[in-house]
Every structure is written in C-alpha cells, then in structure tokens.
C-alpha cells in the first residue's frame, strides 16, 4: 500500500525513517504516465524505499500559463503508483508548501537563462525553489528526474552542487509513445489532429540524429531542416536550438563537436510541447511520419 501523506511534518518523519535503508525520490506534478512511472522504477533500483510527490507548483507557472487547467487525477495516480511499488506519496496542498508570508526564492540564473528560460520568465526559479524545499524535507536521497525536461534537470544538478544538498541526482531517458512522441501530461490536451501534428517534433529530432550519424556537424544546416518541418505543422515555435549539452551555452563556431543538445519548444494549438535529444548520445527515436 502506498502511504499517502499530506503534511510536511508527516513526510519528513517518513523520510527520516527511510534514511537508514535508503530513500529514492521522484517529484512530479501528477497526471502520471509511463514516463513518470519509469522514474519510480528507476528509483527503486537505487533505494529500497521510494517516495513520489505530486504537487502542481504555482510558482513555476506564468500568469498566462495552464496552472488552472493542468490535469489532476489523484486517485488514478495513486493506483499507478501502487502498481509500480512506490512506498510513499507526498501530496501537499499549496498552503502546506507555501506558508503565509513566504518570500524565499532559489535562482540558478545562468543555466536557467537560455531555451525555455527566454519564454517562461520565472519558471526555473519556481522549479528550483520547490525542488529545494522538497529536498529540505526529504534529506539525503537519490532523486530521479526525466531528461525530457533537460534544462530542468541541469538546473537541479547545479543547485544540488551549489547548495551542498545531500542528494544524488539521476537523469532518466525520455519515455516515448511507439510513434516517437514524448510522453507528457500535457499530451492530454491534444486533439487527435493536433497529436498527429505534434509528431513533427520527434521526427525533426530523429532527422537530426540521422544527419549527425552520417557526419553532419553544421548546426545551422541541422536547425534549418528541423525548423521547416516544425513550422509546417505547429502554431508557434518558441525555439529550435542546438547548445552545449553541459553548459547549455551556444556552440562555439556553430559546429557540433562537443556533446550537443538539440532542443525544441513549440505550440500545437493551445498546448506547449518540449522535447530534446543529445546528438550522438541518446537512443535513436523511432518515428512514424507526421500527417
């Protein structure tokens, strides 16, 4: 049985008990899918007791974003967590996580600046703040995050080092549907037609992987091809970019010679989708043709 805990105090006590054997931790915003569940399974490989959290964190949403309509299904999530053998679910209210008068924020400015940081002002500060608070409650643990949110993972790795937190951070590969689309809670917003259009994203990444495998190293060429694929079917592109996979800074001389991250964020209808690959490193995306 998953133990469901609602208060910071209860969760802290449960984590303290788990420390002797080892605690795995998977923070989420719920509406769980196979991507989230794979993180729980990965956490179980590292620690005998695994906690997940579900908290739709208001400080990481901008004023015109989807906080109010973000999908919520606590009962469904609980049975999925049972099925993969999670031990603890921490599902606090907003008031429980943010005390009256709260004002402290955690910023990781350089890692948060490019890519999504240019379009979601304050987003990574909200993420860094809530994750730091969660780690302050869990104490020592192995925390598993998805590489689907690559920049978020980079922000968290940085803050854990900078704040000397006793947390081992593990990045887990992106889990995809059979046609290549990255699993995401926001896929629930897509109509069947929009979902078909969204396949342009993994298709563009797969094309870049294939070009890289055959020796293409000019970022501009790879980006232009990806952009035209995405432009054809999406409503608005936030970015299609290739950056250094460690620093997230621009490539030197436009050449893909180091580990390079290719990342895409675009809007399909009202839904903002993101995806990425590390060229030459991530498994090749198996894709179906977009309509």
Residue span binding ligand AMP (CB under 6 A) among the ranges 76-84, 104-112, 143-151, 217-225: 143-151
The structure tokens listed for 110 are 């350089």
Q: Taking Cα atoms as reference points, which of 15, 21, 28, 78 lies closest to residue 46?
A: 21
DSSP SS3 for 76: helix
Contact (CB, 8 A) for 216 and 210: no
Distance CA(274)–CA(166), nearest Å, equals: 30
What residues numbered 27-66 form the site for ligand AMP, per CB under 6 A? 28-29, 35-36, 39
The distance of closest approach from Cβ of residue 190 to ligand AMP in the complex, given in angstroms and rounded to an integer, is 14
The distance of closest approach from Cβ of residue 146 to ligand AMP in the complex, given in angstroms and rounded to an integer, is 2
Q: Does 202 bind ligand AMP (CB under 6 A)?
A: no
The structure tokens listed for 94 are 């907003």
Active site residue 36: yes
DSSP SS3 for 239: strand
Q: Which is nearer to ligand AMP, 36 or 195 (CB)?
A: 36
Distance CA(147)–CA(150), nearest Å, equals: 5
Residue span binding ligand AMP (CB under 6 A) among the ranges 90-98, 142-150, 210-218, 227-235: 142-150
User: With contacts defined by CB under 6 A, how many residues of the chain interact with ligand AMP?
Assistant: 16
Q: Which is nearer to ligand AMP, 23 or 211 (CB)?
A: 23
Residue of 185, 203, 209, 222 interacting with ligand AMP (CB under 6 A):
185
DSSP SS3 for 248: coil
Q: Taking Cα atoms as reference points, which of 221, 237, 229, 234 lies closest to residue 279?
A: 221
| Own/partner long-range contacts of 38-41 (Cβ < 8 Å, ≥24 apart) | 38/172, 38/175, 39/144, 39/145, 39/146, 39/172, 40/81, 40/84, 40/85, 40/86, 40/144, 41/84, 41/85
Residue of 117, 146, 180, 202 interacting with ligand AMP (CB under 6 A):
146
Residue nearest to ligand AMP (CB): 146
What residues numbered 160-179 form the site for ligand AMP, per CB under 6 A? 172, 174-175
Q: Does 263 bind ligand AMP (CB under 6 A)?
A: no
Distance CA(62)–CA(264), nearest Å, equals: 19
Residue of 41, 184, 203, 271 interacting with ligand AMP (CB under 6 A):
184
Residue span binding ligand AMP (CB under 6 A) among the ranges 7-15, 140-148, 210-218, 248-256: 140-148
The structure tokens listed for 55 are 């908290």
Considering 9, 33, 36, 123, which one is annotated as catalytic? 36
Please give the full DSSP string across 123-143, using - where no structure is assigned: HHHHHHHHHHHHHHHH-SEEE
Q: Which residues bind ligand AMP (CB under 6 A)?
A: 28-29, 35-36, 39, 145-146, 148-149, 172, 174-175, 182-185
**Catalytic residue numbers?**
36
């Amino acid at each position: 049985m998953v133990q469901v805990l609602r208060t910071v105090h209860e969760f802290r006590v449960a984590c303290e008990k788990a420390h002797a054997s080892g605690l795995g931790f998977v923070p989420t915003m719920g509406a769980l899918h196979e991507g989230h569940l794979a993180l729980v399974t990965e956490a179980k490989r590292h620690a005998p007791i695994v906690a997940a959290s579900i908290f739709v964190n208001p400080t990481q949403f901008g004023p015109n974003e989807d906080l109010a309509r973000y999908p919520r299904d606590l009962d469904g999530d609980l049975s999925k967590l049972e099925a993969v053998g999670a031990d603890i679910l921490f599902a606090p209210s907003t008031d429980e996580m943010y005390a009256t008068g709260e004002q402290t924020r955690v910023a990781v400015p350089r890692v948060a600046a490019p890519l999504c940081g240019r379009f979601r002002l304050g987003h990574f500060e909200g993420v860094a703040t809530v994750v730091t608070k969660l780690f302050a409650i869990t104490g020592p643990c192995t925390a598993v995050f998805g590489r689907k949110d690559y920049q978020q993972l980079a922000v968290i790795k940085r803050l854990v080092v900078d704040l000397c937190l006793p947390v081992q951070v593990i990045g887990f590969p992106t889990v995809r549907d059979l046609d290549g689309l990255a699993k995401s809670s926001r896929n629930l917003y897509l109509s069947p037609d929009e979902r078909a259009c969204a396949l342009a994203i993994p298709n563009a990444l797969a094309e870049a992987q294939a070009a890289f495998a055959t020796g293409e190293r000019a970022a501009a060429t790879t980006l232009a091809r990806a952009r035209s694929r995405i432009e054809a079917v999406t409503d608005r592109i936030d970015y299609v970019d290739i950056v250094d996979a460690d620093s997230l800074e621009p490539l030197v001389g436009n050449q893909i010679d180091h580990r390079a991250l290719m990342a895409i964020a675009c809007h399909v209808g009202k839904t903002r989708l993101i995806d990425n690959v590390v060229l030459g490193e991530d498994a090749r995306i198996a894709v179906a043709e977009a309509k």
